[in-house]
Amino acid sequence: MNMVDISRKRYTTKHYDKSKKIPADQIEALCTILQNSPSSVNTQPWHFVIVGSDAGRDKILPAIPDFNHPRVQDSSHTVVMCVRDNIDEAYMQHLVDQEDKDGRFQTAEDKQRQSEALHFFVNVKSPTPKDQYEWMCKQVYIALGNLLFAAAGMGIDSTAIEGFDSAKIDEILGLKEKGLKSVVVATLGYRAENDSNAKRPKSRLPQDEIFTFL
């Protein structure tokens, strides 16, 4: 399938076939796609909780409102996408050290320059904790987009879910203690035969309304 066809054919799955599970190697592939998602100044301010067991699903279900239950209960996997508490000095050092380890710098000066750029952008883009939280959330949503599109390309159906109780899921998963906060959820699996949404035509605003070409 080409990219345009994938974009036309992917859709939000409302009902999954509970008997169909995503093979482990494809979950691994989707994890790599999440890991490789781009983020501003490579801040990667995220963590992903992958729920693939019935016990895990039952555990998080109290944080999912009734209307979204089938997307979680019957899907194969649920990804709880989280942001960090903050991007502090220790984390910035950690990021630059990782880039160093991954061979991104020729010299110590290169590393220093990257560290300065990182500090500069973090300060500019997130002068307050609220700004920083919103900035980090944007990066997580880029990862969400990658996940949904890649899954579709692999023949895996998905649902992005904002309809959940973030405070509750944080409590259930002990995210606060881990310095994390849930932002958005995605479920993955295979559509049920009777998934009503599968047959609905896609609806989007026309291109002449959403694009300007200069």
Q: Which residues bind ligand FMN (CB under 6 A)?
A: 11-12, 14, 68, 159-163, 184, 202
Q: Which is nearer to ligand FMN, 184 or 192 (CB)?
A: 184
CB 14 within 8 A of CB 159: yes
Q: Report which secondary-structure segment, H or E, holds 81.
A: strand 77-84
As given in the structure block, the two tokens for residue 81 are: 């996408």
Q: Which is nearer to ligand FMN, 130 or 204 (CB)?
A: 204
Q: Which amino acid is at 88?
A: D
In the complex, what is the shortest distance from the CB of residue 91 to ligand FMN, in angstroms, rounded to a whole number?
Answer: 25
- To which residue do tokens 């880039």 refer? 99
In the complex, what is the shortest distance from the CB of residue 74 to ligand FMN, in angstroms, rounded to a whole number?
Answer: 13
In the complex, what is the shortest distance from the CB of residue 213 to ligand FMN, in angstroms, rounded to a whole number?
Answer: 24
Q: What is d(CA 26, CA 11) in angstroms, rounded to the nearest whole number?
A: 19
In the complex, what is the shortest distance from the CB of residue 50 to ligand FMN, in angstroms, rounded to a whole number?
Answer: 18
Q: Which is nearer to ligand FMN, 8 or 94 (CB)?
A: 8
In the complex, what is the shortest distance from the CB of residue 52 to ligand FMN, in angstroms, rounded to a whole number?
Answer: 20
* Helix/strand/coil (H/E/C) assignment for every residue in 166-190: HHHHHHHHCCHHHCEEEEEEEEEEC
CB 160 within 8 A of CB 14: no
Q: Which amino acid is at 212?
A: T
Q: Which is nearer to ligand FMN, 122 or 188 (CB)?
A: 188
Q: Which is nearer to ligand FMN, 65 or 127 (CB)?
A: 65
As given in the structure block, the two tokens for residue 15 are: 């009902």
Q: Which residue's CB atom is positioned nearest to ligand FMN?
A: 163
